[in-house]
Structure 1
Amino acid sequence: MSLTAHIPSHRKPRRSASKLAVRAGVAGGVLSTLAMAGTASASPSAEPVTETTLEMPVLSLDLAAEVSSSVTKAAENTRAAVLEGELHAQEETARTGAAAEAKKAKEDAQQKADAEEKAKQEKEEADRKAEAERANRSTARASLSTKSGSGATPSDGSGASVAAPATGSAAAIVNFARAQVGKAYVMGGTGPSSFDCSGLVQAAYKQAGISLPRMSQAQSSAGTSVSLNALQPGDILYWGAKGSAYHVAVYVGGGKFVGAQNSSTGIVERSLSYDKPTGAVRVL
């Protein structure tokens, strides 16, 4: 074996025959083209070749500006849509609130009308009751007058008999009652500076050593019933039904009574014709 067999050769490798043939063909084609071009240029009948230059349109659009404008417009449209939606929502809320207020106002007006109608009916009912009570009192007086007959006893013209002056316990009652004339009427008052109707009657009878119930209802049934045409000083007069009277006074003779009427008049002495009582009872 040669000592240099392992050393690679520095010579260029040989080209293959196929590659050489391709290159030769290409070179030949080029030379043929050049020869034809030279012949054409040398021929006097050949027309000159005019070169034409095509100009491409220049795009001048600013794409960034167009995109920015589109984005801005889209944002404005979105904002407008949001504002419109908020406006619709506010209008709907306003309509709902107005409807609720109108409904409440209608309900309040109806309640007020109902309350006024109820008050009117109650007043009419109270007036009817008062009228019926006055009618009953008039009927009772007429009945008593009919039963008493004419000329039974001397009368003062008011239907009440004229009795002899009060003596004994009756005098004490009458004198005390008359001594209170001019004092104030106070609901619940029992003296000494003010009285209500039953408080005055109770205090007057106390002067004769007689204890009466406190309320007018009980005082109206405390003694024996007597005719209004046969009254004696010291008798208890009452207004309303016996046992449920709403007012009482003391008969002082001469067709008069003393009573604590109301807060406007106080304690007064009045004729029976001023406000005729319903009935009377005698306790003495």
Structure 2
Amino acid sequence: MSLTAHIPSHRKPRRSAPKSALRAGVAGGVLSTIAVAGAAGPAQAEPVTQTIEMPTLTSGLSTAVAASAEATQQVALDLETQAHEDAAATSAAKAATKAKAEAVRKAEAKKKAEAAAKAKAEAALRASRSEARTTLSASGSTTVASSSSSTTGSSSSSATGSAASVIAFVKAQVGDAYVSGGTGPNSWDCSGLVQAAFRTVGVDLPRVSQAQSTAGTQVSLSNLQPGDILYWGGAGSAYHVGVYVGGGQFVGAQNSSTGVVQRPLSYDPPSGAVRVL
């Protein structure tokens, strides 16, 4: 008898084959059943019923809805107010444009009326002067009493005939404008006025002051007669001329500030004089 015959063995006992086969068969049967049940589909499953509860409106939600409605109404009111303001602004702009156009029209009409009135007055003045010149020139026998004086002496004489006509012409131009190179009928320079005055009596004088200062006989300033030509500067180099009208007075187109004036000899004493008539 062996010494280890009574010592129990620590090895697990072998399972018998029949038990293993049985377990395998059972497991295979279960799996087959599950497979068959899966193939059968949900048609064999019982329906599941679930109840869903809907939330109820609370007082807070009602307040929010009311506030939203009020905001929408306010926006509508604001839009309506803005529309009214825009319409009023457009209407005011149209009215302002119309008023401006009317003001411009009235201003232009007033300006035209003033221009027409001025032109009419100037035409009437020219006609009056023209008539006066024609009458004076036609008379030819008008007598102008005058006395001659100067810084060195005086004398008196009567202007008749051509001299009277020359004097009447230059006096009729007093108040006209001075324009360099002007020869009338409403603006003159000094030599243009003298030339036009003597032309009315058929005397054709040179155009410029230098030549007019030597156009006649040189006379003393103490022996002047109405109708004599006065000059300023040297004979042949004069820079200004005028007409002695008697009574110690002369008429000349002085400058752009004064125009044609009648002044005493003391206002601007001449340098010399020539007698043409």
Pairwise TM-score range, normalised by the shorter structure: 0.3 to 0.5
TM-score with structure 2 length normalisation?
Answer: 0.46
TM-score with structure 1 length normalisation?
Answer: 0.45
More strand by share: 2
